[in-house]
Amino acid sequence: EDFDRRRAVELKHGRLCMVATIGMVWPDIFGKFDGYLSPSQNLKFADVPSGIAAVTKVPLEGWLQILLVAGLIETQLLKDQSFGGFGYAKYGAEPGNFGTGYWGRKIQDPAERKLKLTTELNNGRLAMIAMSGMLIQNGLTGQSPIEQLTAGHISPFNDGQGFFAFDPSAELGACPPLGYWDPFGMMAFQDEEKFRRNRELELKHGRICMVATIGMIVPDLFGRFGGYLSPSMDLKFSDIPCTIEAIYKVPTFGWLQIFALAGAIEAKNQAFPENYGYPPFWGRINTLEPEEKQKKLLAEINNGRLAMVAMAAIVAQNGATGQSLVEQFTTGNLNPFVGGYAQREGDAKDKVALRAEFGSGAGKSTAIPWDPIPEGLSNDIFNNTYVGDVGFDPAGFAKNQRLLPWYREAELAHGRVCMLAVLGYTVQTSGAKFEPFITRYPTDSADPLKAATQVPIVGWLQIIVVIALSELWRYENVISKYSQGVQPGDLGWNPTAPVSSPRPKWFGPTFTAAYQPEEWNNMKLREIKHCRLAMVGFFFMVLRNASTGEGPSLLPNLTTAEFQSSVGDFIPRDI
């Protein structure tokens, strides 16, 4: 019954979107109706645009007529045979079958009928996606699909950005090392007014985060205000922690004051985002040279961006550990010379304490402190079999314990490949190449994505053969022997495995025999962390490369004048 109802809904929306898609295109190609849509409002059909703006043009009487016709069709004229109307269902009939046939005739051949119905379903699904795309493009650009095509904005031979007089890549903030960075295309087809709006938001949030970052640190370092925050609640300033919990400590009247102050500031702000009329730089704004002024404004933007990232990281760390930033430093969790949680595993007391604090005892996930531990996970980062288990499984993969070793195997395999890929991506985009060339024809392979198209077919066959042999070996020696004691991802380096454990005879723990079991768990925890980071990092490397046409190399930027003065001219000449 549920399937029939969903299929009927799918067909109805698909049919509507097929008609709507034609309606979005037809008027601009073949013209609109003559005459008036609403004589009383002096509204002609020619005045109605082919886009979302048309919704605001239709008069109230027009909407009533549309709803009336739709209601008659739904309840009387073309009533789906699967449903009797007004809540009375007749399941067993065919969803979407109005009894009208195909152009008024019923198809007798079962094979032809099945083909026609499948075609209708697929066309309806395509039309729903197309309609969504048309509406989004129309909302972003203000143009109908035909206007976008004729203006060249969605031409496959250019990026469309050049058709706008305003170029955001030339504005302040497009600077090394990323240059103009807009991987999600948020500024595509935007005019100067919308850019100013986005710049206003960027500056405002950056300034708030710069203050907030300091506010998260100063109280723990230099102390808090004396006295009471709320005498009626007997709440002192010293009772407010430098963590997310502070949100729940502030009384209601305090929040009202904060919102009132923020509202007053927002309501009065009518100036350009870079100039509110206050005396910036201690009143020296009019005495600054143009270059120095631009430098300071750029520094503010970059510091604001850094503060937004830093604030997000501080809040995330606080949510994961329950500690403020200063507390994390003083306990060694963020000490660059200590391994944090993993380093403490050598001490049994610390290990027990950590498990009590971040383990499954509290019944909450380490990764998402406000959520319960997902089914099938231990929420123990020192789990000998699945090191790095922090209780994060939003898709519910761990529910199937039989497949869990396969998932860990896949995670490690992809993570290891991505660690190599990140290294290879960076080296290649920095200009390093092997000599001689991979083919007898010189190729420019500094761009990894372009390089993929330059590899000859014989090269790809070699790559595929090597991968296939590696996968077969891994299946034979690791995956197929989980039941015999081999752990996921164990290629034969595990020094804690029993001597009788099945392993490739030519490997063995030659380089890892010096590690104690606890130290080996440290190594495995570090590996899984680096694997996860590499998978995310490689994804964004490819995304940046595809969106900008340049790989993530920092070397060309470090050799520029603005970087040489700050980091030193340490890059070899002619690199």
Known binding positions for chlorophyll b: 416, 458
Known binding positions: 411, 414, 416, 458, 527, 532
Long-range contacts of 289-297 (CB under 8 A, 24+ apart): 294/172, 297/172
3-state helix, strand, coil in the chain (%, to 5): 60, 5, 40
Distance CA(500)–CA(482), nearest Å, equals: 14
Distance CA(27)–CA(133), nearest Å, equals: 18
How are beta strands 36-38 and 43-44 bridged, if at all? antiparallel
148 phi and psi angles, rounded to 5 deg: -65, -40
Distance CA(350)–CA(341), nearest Å, equals: 9
Long-range contacts of 380-387 (CB under 8 A, 24+ apart): 380/355, 381/341, 381/342, 381/354, 381/525, 382/345, 382/351, 382/354, 382/355, 382/521, 382/525, 384/521, 385/487, 385/488, 386/488, 387/521, 387/524, 387/525, 387/528
Q: Are 391 and 384 in contact (CB under 8 A)?
A: no
**Residue 36: beta bridge partners?**
44
* Token couple for 503: 């392993």
User: To which residue do tokens 């190449």 refer?
Assistant: 433
Known binding positions for chlorophyll a: 411, 414, 527, 532
280 preceded by a cis bond (ω within 30 of 0):
no
Q: Considering only CA atoms, which of 17, 6, 15 is closest in space to residue 98?
A: 15
Distance CA(123)–CA(115), nearest Å, equals: 12
388: left (phi over 0), alpha (psi -120 to 50) or beta: left
Q: How far is CA 21 from CA 29, 48, 64, 127, 530, in A?
A: 13, 16, 22, 7, 47
Q: Are 417 and 531 in contact (CB under 8 A)?
A: no
What is the DSSP secondary-structure string of 346-371? GSHHHHHHHHHHHSGGGSB-SSSTTS
